[in-house]
Every structure is written in structure tokens, then in C-alpha cells.
Amino acid sequence: MNYTTRRRAGFTLIELLVVIAIIAILAAILFPVFAQAREKARQTSCLSNAKQYALANLMYIQDYDESFPMSSYLNVSCVETFYSVVMPYVKNDQVTKCPSEPEAIKISDLVGAPCPSTPAYTSYVVNSGLFANGFYPGVSTVSLGRIGRPAETIMSYDGNVTFGAGPGEQIQLVQARHTGTFTASFTDGHVKAVQAKETGTAQQFTVMGPGKSLKVYTIGASGGFYAGQTECKGLPE
């Protein structure tokens, strides 16, 4: 019986290197696309969180004589915050976290002794022109009736906290976590992404002293009344 020996065809080293190079090129092209798609999904989740927060605020306002909650105040032996007083209307502390930076702010570092109902972390800050600081002498809550242009007045947004010029003063910096934009909710209940450009750095405010390094962003033209600022502060007239 005769057996015929056949030589199996295979890839040469050059062919394998060419295939590997093509795969590497395709990966380099596609990875940024995948990263953008992943960040877009996180932004969508963040917009949903902001919408729930906006509705929670509006429900609180209706229950409390159309007044905004204070950003913080002393409640006997603990510090009550916007995050804790609105929580009964949210009932899910995951809503306080932006998926792109879920532990942006540790609230115990921010206020010292938060009340038990306070979530541990948050990614969002508030307009200090709406949410009065209860530690300032003679401060009072802000009435919904004072808002002349609710569709242009930002309530809460992607942010972090740095030191202001005066003792204990805080600046609620915007944080453009979503490819050059930050999520903002408005007093009429709508939410949107607002453009911002990185312009510097700052240190995070904590009750123990300067914390981690933060990026400083300047709000773009899509921010309307707040354009050119580093925080969303004040009420459009």
C-alpha cells in the first residue's frame, strides 16, 4: 500500500505579523469608540439621577410651604444636609452617585457629623443661591416665588467643593465628568448636559483641611446665566 505524504500549508511568520498588526490597528481605532459609548451610558444614568433629584426637590418644596431646603444646618447633635432631607423622596442612595465618579464627595468629610439618614457619598452639589447655608447668621430659606426664570435657574449639578476666600466659605465647583459636559437640573424640573472647559486646579474642601486635588472648569455659553463661572451660583433675573 502506498501512502502519499502531503505538506500542510500554514501561515508564514510575515503573514502572522501582518495579521497581528492589523488587529492592533483595529483595536486602536475601536477602543476610543467603546470608551465613548461607555461614557455616554454613564452620562445617561447621571441625567436620570439628576431628574429624580429634581423631582424629589420639587416634592419637598410643595410639602414645605414652597421653600427650598437649606444646604446644611445644625440639627441638635448632627448636621442635617440637603442630601438627608430630600432622601425620603428619593429612597435610594445610589441616586446621589454619578457613575463616572460615584465617591466624589464623602459627606462626613464635608460636614463633620452628618445625621444618620445622610448617604455616605455624593457626586452632586447645589446652587447656593437657592439652598441657603444654615450656618450663616440670620439666613432664611429661599421661596419658590423668588425664582423669576425657573427654566434657566440651576438647582443641582455634577460638582465638588473647594475653599472660598472667607473663613468656612465654600465654592461648589462644576465637574465636567462627561466628555466636557456636566449634568444640571433646573427648577422647572428639566435636566440637561452643559458644556464646560478645564481651566485650573483646586483643593477639595473638608472639615479636616485641604483634601484631594480637583479640576476647575469654566462654564461654557450653553450655561446661560452661569456662563463664565466655575460654579452655578445665583438666580437669573
What share of the chain has pLDDT > 70, as a percent? Answer: 92
- Compute the Cα dihedral for 93, 95, 96, 100 and give only its sign: positive
- Res 162 pLDDT > 70: yes
Report the number of distinct structural domains present in the chain.
Answer: 1
Q: Would 108 be classed as within a structural domain?
A: yes
Q: Would 3 be classed as within a structural domain?
A: no
SS (H, E, C) 79-106: EEEHHHHHHHHHCCHHHHCECCECCCEE
pLDDT of residue 11: 65
Q: Give the tens place of pLDDT for each residue, 39-93.
A: 778 889 999 999 998 999 999 999 999 999 999 999 989 999 988 999 889 888 7
Q: Would 221 be classed as within a structural domain?
A: yes
pLDDT of residue 5: 52
Q: Would 200 be classed as within a structural domain?
A: yes
pLDDT band per the 50, 70, 90 thresholds, residue 26? confident
Q: Would 8 be classed as within a structural domain?
A: no
Q: Would 233 be classed as within a structural domain?
A: no
Write down the residue that cell numbers 455616554 correspond to: 40
Q: How far is CA 22 from the centre of its chain?
A: 39
pLDDT of residue 41: 83
Find the helix or strand (DSSP H, E) in which 18 lies: helix 13-63
Q: Give the tens place of pLDDT for each residue, 189-207.
A: 999 999 999 999 999 999 9
- Structural domain including 105 reads 13-226
pLDDT of residue 99: 93
Q: Would 232 be classed as within a structural domain?
A: no
pLDDT of residue 17: 78
pLDDT of residue 219: 98
